Amino acid sequence: MKQEPSFFEGQEPVLIYIAKRLRDALRLESIFTAAGVDYGVEADEYRGGVIFRAVRAGAFFYVLPNAVSAAREVMVRNGYKPLEGEAG
C-alpha cells in the first residue's frame, strides 16, 4: 500500500526503483498494492542519457529495509528490474 512520508519517520527507506515513465510508475503502484507491499513514492530528478546527458523527472519508489526482499521478489515476478547495490 502507498504510504505517507510519516510512515518512514525514524527509519531509513531504501530506494528500490526509479520509474522513468508514468505508466510504469502507475503499474508498479498497482502491483505493490495488490501484493500488500508498503511503499513510498515521490517525484525527483535523475540524470539520463549517454551522449546527451540531461536531468529528467521520475518516480522514486522506496520501501523499508525489512520489506526489500519481498518488494524485489514481487518486482522481478512482474518484469521489473529492482535497483541493486547501495541504491537499493
Write the CATH number for 69: 3.30.70
The whole-number pLDDT of residue 88 equals 41
The whole-number pLDDT of residue 48 equals 83
Contact residues for 57 (Cβ-Cβ < 8 A; gap 6+)? 43, 44, 45, 46
Pick from 42, 46, 34, 38: which is nearest to 68 by CA?
Answer: 38
The whole-number pLDDT of residue 84 equals 82
Q: How far apart are CA 88 and CA 83, in angstroms?
A: 5
The whole-number pLDDT of residue 19 equals 96
Q: Which has more pLDDT, 15 or 4?
A: 15
pLDDT digits (tens, 9 = 90+) for 34-75: 999 999 999 999 988 888 889 999 999 999 999 999 999 999
Name the domain count of the chain: 1
Q: Which domain holds residue 56?
A: 5-87
Whether 76 has a pLDDT exceeding 60, the answer reads yes
The whole-number pLDDT of residue 52 equals 87
Whether 78 has a pLDDT exceeding 90, the answer reads yes
